[in-house]
Structure formats: structure tokens, C-alpha cells
């Protein structure tokens, strides 16, 4: 991705997942922003950002993790996952693969062993069905450690899993008994 696309993608993550108010934007309860309003407000209030409809479409199509989606009529945009805002993504529970991975940093392990995985600032705990993604996610915070989760045992105990539109798996919390720490 070009520097401009990366910078704009980070800006969109901020306003569509966490702080729309930084540009005076409001999301609806499903996390959608009106594209016209987003463009006008971003270009008025965020000095280093110059949004266009074409650029937004390019980011939706090319983003390495498919972080954003357009509404079917093309008038709205939202983040596919990663929110700290309380939005309803309308995800139905899904049967998870037998193993899901969570990448974290070694310095968090003692705490995770005690309290399990908690969503922290975000709405959900984020999981992946492949080790590579977990490694990349974990190394953002230090020495990456890959945790494996026993999803079948969790399912049999009533825990629910959801899959975001970009393939990321989500769950509300994971108690320590289901976490395999290497």
C-alpha cells in the first residue's frame, strides 16, 4: 500500500472504530458513516487528510486486511471489526474451526493466565484461524506469543464465536481454562 493509503486507512480506523467525534462525525448504531458527511468533515477538520470518493473505494478494495466495507447502496462505509465503540455489526454466531489463535506479547502472559483474554478497550477479543496473522498481531506489543484456544470445548460450554466480514474471528472473552499457553 502507498504511504497515502496507509495514512488514510489509519485515519479511517480512528474515526470509524474509536473516535468519530474527532471530526464531528456520528456513526449510526451499526457503525455506518455517511460517505458524503465523512468526506466533508474529514477534509474540513483533519489537516493532513484529503479524502475523495475514489480514494475511499480504493482503500475498501485494496486494504491489506479488508478493514472497511461499503453499504450495498454505496452511500455508507464502516469498519469490519476492531471497534471500541459499542456498535451492532449484526454478526450471527458461527461454528468456529477446532483451533483459533490469538497473538499476544510475552509481557501479557501472566495476566492472561490469571484472567483469561479480555477485550480491553475493544468490543471483542480478536482471534485468527492462522498462525501468521496471530504472529503479526502479537508482535505489535512486544515479543509475539501464539496462544491456541480450544474452541470446541468453549462451544460446548455455551461460548459464542462470530466472524467479521474480513475473516477475523471474534468472541466476548476467553477464560484461562480454554487457553493453551506455550
Rule CB under 6 A: say whether 121 interacts with ligand HQG: yes
Rule CB under 6 A: say whether 61 interacts with ligand HQG: no
Give me the least distance between CB of 18 and ligand HQG, in Å please: 10
Q: Provide the 10 A C-beta neighbour count for residue 156.
A: 9
Helix 53-62 vs helix 35-45: angle between axes, to the nearest 10 degrees? 110
Choose which of 39, 49, 168, 179 interacts with ligand HQG (CB under 6 A): 168
β-strand partners of 179? 149
Rule CB under 6 A: say whether 97 interacts with ligand HQG: no
Rule CB under 6 A: say whether 122 interacts with ligand HQG: yes
Under 8 Å between Cβ of 68 and 60: yes
SS3 content of the chain, % helix, strand, coil (to 5): 35, 20, 45
Give the three cell numbers for residue 62: 485494496
Give me the least distance between CB of 59 and ligand HQG, in Å please: 12
**Interacting residue ranges for ligand HQG, rule: CB under 6 A:** 13, 65, 67, 82, 104-105, 108, 111-112, 115, 117-118, 120-122, 126, 137, 141, 168
Amino acid at each position: 500500500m502507498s504511504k497515502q493509503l496507509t495514512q488514510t486507512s489509519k485515519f479511517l480506523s480512528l474515526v470509524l472504530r474509536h473516535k468519530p467525534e474527532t471530526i464531528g462525525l456520528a456513526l449510526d448504531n451499526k457503525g455506518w458513516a455517511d460517505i458524503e458527511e465523512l468526506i466533508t468533515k474529514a477534509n474540513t477538520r483533519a489537516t493532513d487528510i484529503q479524502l475523495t470518493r475514489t480514494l475511499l473505494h480504493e482503500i475498501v478494495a485494496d486494504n491489506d486486511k479488508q478493514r472497511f466495507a461499503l453499504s450495498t447502496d454505496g452511500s455508507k462505509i464502516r469498519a469490519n471489526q476492531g471497534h471500541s465503540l459499542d456498535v451492532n455489526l449484526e454478526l450471527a454466531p458461527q461454528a468456529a474451526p477446532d483451533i483459533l489463535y490469538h497473538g499476544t506479547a510475552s509481557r501479557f502472559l501472566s495476566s492472561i493466565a490469571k484472567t483469561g483474554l479480555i477485550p480491553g478497550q475493544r468490543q471483542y477479543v480478536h482471534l485468527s484461524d492462522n498462525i501468521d496473522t496471530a504472529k503479526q498481531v502479537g508482535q505489535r506489543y512486544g515479543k509475539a506469543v501464539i496462544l491456541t484456544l480450544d474452541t470446541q470445548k468453549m462451544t460446548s460450554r455455551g461460548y459464542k464465536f462470530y466472524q467479521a466480514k474480513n475473516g477475523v474471528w471474534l468472541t466476548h472473552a476467553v477464560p484461562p481454562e480454554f487457553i493453551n499457553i506455550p
